[in-house]
Each structure stands twice: as structure tokens, then as C-alpha cells.
Amino acid sequence: MQQVLRQSVPDSTPAFTTRLANKRQTLVVAGKLGEDASAYEQLTLGRKLVAAACQQKAGSLGICVIGFDSARQAMIFNNVVAAALAAAFQLPSYQSKSSPPVIKTLRLLGADKIVDTARTEAEAKGNNLARWLTTMPPNKLDAISYADLVSAMAASGGWAYKRFNTKELTKLGAGAFLAVAQGNDNDSAGIIRLRYRPDKKTAKADLGLVGKGIIFDTGGTNLKPFLSMLDMHGDMQGSAVALGILVAISELKLPINVDCWLAITENRTGPLAYKSQDVVTAANGKTIQTVHTDAEGRMVLADTLVLACRDKPGILFDYATLTGSCVNAITTRYSGVFTNRPSLHPHLKKIGRESGERVWPFPIGKEFMEDLK
């Protein structure tokens, strides 16, 4: 096996897969990592190795990492565990005969020292929640059922839950959000605020999370073409990510105050849908003239960000599936980052590299504001 590994190319497909002739039917899947392999490469190879084990219906998975110092070994262990927890998670399936993952237990073998996987497990719980929500069909996860699910999670997690319905948003002057929501055939849209306070005090948030939750995006009056609309049940990924982060923070009982805002609605077409050239007033009193109704994400987030900023969080992160142009620029392998604090660019890129969720910063010059006038 060592000879096979020496001859294999790092970070490629599994280099060695075989079954040992014993009563337990042991399966060995081996792969090779370069000494400088990034977290993304570790996660990618880890997923390939776990997938090979899953194909053979392995019920118990032992993970062994050799050839690295203790710190590097612990990092690789955690990334392979993350890959295994993702592979073992059951995503929604509505087929008559589904094949659930078979991995039941994970074991870490040969570690130089005790490897703490608590953070990895908490992050996996948040990641898997986001994946599950994003996979749900739009008729199974509509705005009402989404709000009900979040309400139940809040009760279980000890978070404060508040849903601003359309009547309350009207009083708050959230005309940008309401313009998108008015195309719905029921009063299901709303903005949800979740508050995590580990010390039970009502102090302001150290961290604010905002997520775009467009349950389904038709493009509105400016209707999307078929292929562009096909996966638009996933246009709520931003809200799923924000919610998943809150889950991970709560699981780890981190000593920080967090507010999480979810902007949940559909962007439909129909007789009540908003139109190009409509003029609406956002919650901060600014007027917006609609150019294209498929820019609904910016509309709902405009008001949600205003409401979130009124509570003056220490720092605010906004997650959204914006936009096709960003995908064209940096592909789906990276996420675009826009910030009014350029000093954070190196830190954000570093965190992205370490987590395997790579990001790339875009400029926001003051002169760009002239284009919005």
C-alpha cells in the first residue's frame, strides 16, 4: 500500500481500495495528500475517500492520518471528519426507494494526541441544516412552513423569536421588502429575527447575521428563462447559511450575543407582482425605482439590513445568492465578499482558506455610489 501511495498523485481519486479477508470484511481506502494541501483539498479528498467507503456500504468508519506533525494531523483529521459527517447526513428524498447513507460510527485511529472535533461536529450540524433546507422542494418548504420550522428551532435552542409579518412591516415602512412580497397569493412573507444571548441578558448583539430567504424566485415580472429558474428553490441559501451559523454558535455555547435576521418570501409573477419602474420607499426613507424585478434579493435585503442596523450590532454579515455575475467572475468554487471595511480583506481570505470556504474580495469605491443615484 505504501508503494501505491508513493506512486500516486496527491489530492487525486482514492489511490488504494481493497477488502481484507477477515470476518469483519474490513475495507481499506487510502489517499495521498501533499504536505502543503489546503483545507479545500483536504475536504475534497476526504469526501472522495468517504464516498468510496459508502459505495461499499461501510457501517463503521475508522480514520487514520499518517506522515504529518501533530498540528497538521489534527487539522486533517477534522477535515476528514467534516467530510464524513456530510456524507453520512440524510438529505431530503421523495423517491419510493431511497438509499440512506450507512455510516453509523466514526473512529479516529493513530492520533498523536487527543483530537478535539467538537467545533467540527457543531459546524457540520449547521452545514447539514443549510444543505437540508436548500434541497427541500419549494412546495414542501414554503414561507409558512419555513417560519414554523425556525420557530420550533428557537424554542428548542433557547433563542428569542420574533416574526415581523406584512402588517408590521407596513408600519415599519419596509416598502422594498413588501414590493417583492406583494406578488404572493397569501400573507406568508415576513422577516424573522432570532436572538441568541448565552448569559440571558438583553445586551446588544456582538454579531449580526442577515440571510436572503427567497423560497422560490421566478424573476417576477421580468421572468427568468427555464434553466435559470430550475434551481431557484435554492435562492434561500443565504438564510439557510445564517441559520446554520447560529446553530453552530449555539451548539458550541460561544459567549457572544448574536442577532440573526431571515428575509423570507417568494418572488412571483402575477397580477399583483411589482413591476419595472415602480417606485417604493424603503425602511430608511429612501426611494427605490425598480429597474429589473429579478433584483429582488437586493430589495428584501435593503429593508432587512436597515432593521438589523437599528440594533447596532458590533459587526454585520449578510449572506445571499447574489449574483449570476459573481459566478461568472469567480465560478462556484469561491464566494464574493463585499465590505465597507477593506482592512478585513486579508482576515476574510485567511478564514476562507482555513475553513475550505474560499472567498474573494471585490472593491467598493466611494465613486460607485454615484452609479446608484
Predicted confidence (pLDDT) per residue in 7-24, tens digit = 555 555 555 556 555 555
pLDDT at 364: 86
Query: Which residue did the predictor score with more confidence, 330 or 33?
Result: 330
Q: Please compute the mean of the pLDDT values over residues 312-328 and round it to a whole number.
A: 93
For residue 367, the model assigns a pLDDT of 87
Torsional sign, CA 171, 298, 339, 202: positive
Band (6; pLDDT cuts 50, 70, 90) = low
Segment 281-287 shows an average pLDDT of: 97
pLDDT (average), residues 185-212: 93
Tell me: the pLDDT tens digits for 118-150? 999 999 999 999 999 999 999 999 999 999 999
Residues 188-200 have a mean pLDDT of: 95
User: Which pLDDT tens digit goes with each residue over 47-97?
Assistant: 888 888 887 777 788 888 888 888 999 999 999 999 999 988 989 988 887
Average pLDDT over residues 327-346: 93
pLDDT at 118: 95
Say which residue, 281 or 324, is predicted with more confidence: 281
**Rounded distance, CA 97 to CA 121, Å?**
29
For the stretch 273-283, pLDDT in tens is 999 999 999 99
Q: What is the pLDDT of residue 4?
A: 46
Task: Provide the pLDDT for residue 52.
Answer: 81
> Which percentage of the chain shows pLDDT scores above 90?
67
2 or 43: which carries more pLDDT confidence?
A: 43
Q: Check pLDDT > 90 for residue 30.
A: no
Residue 152 has a pLDDT of 98
R_g of the chain, CA atoms, integer Å: 23
What average pLDDT does the structure give for the chain?
A: 90
Domain regions of the chain by residue span: 2-116, 132-318, 323-373
pLDDT for the residue numbered 1: 46
Q: Which CATH number fits domain 2-116: 3.40.50.300, 3.40.630.10, 3.20.20.70, 3.40.220.10?
A: 3.40.220.10
Residue-level pLDDT at 21 = 56
- Provide CATH code, domain 132-318: 3.40.630.10
Report the percent of the chain where pLDDT is more than 70. Answer: 92
Residue 25, pLDDT > 80, answer no
- The residues annotated with a catalytic role in the active site are 224, 298
Q: What number is the average pLDDT over the span 211-237?
A: 96
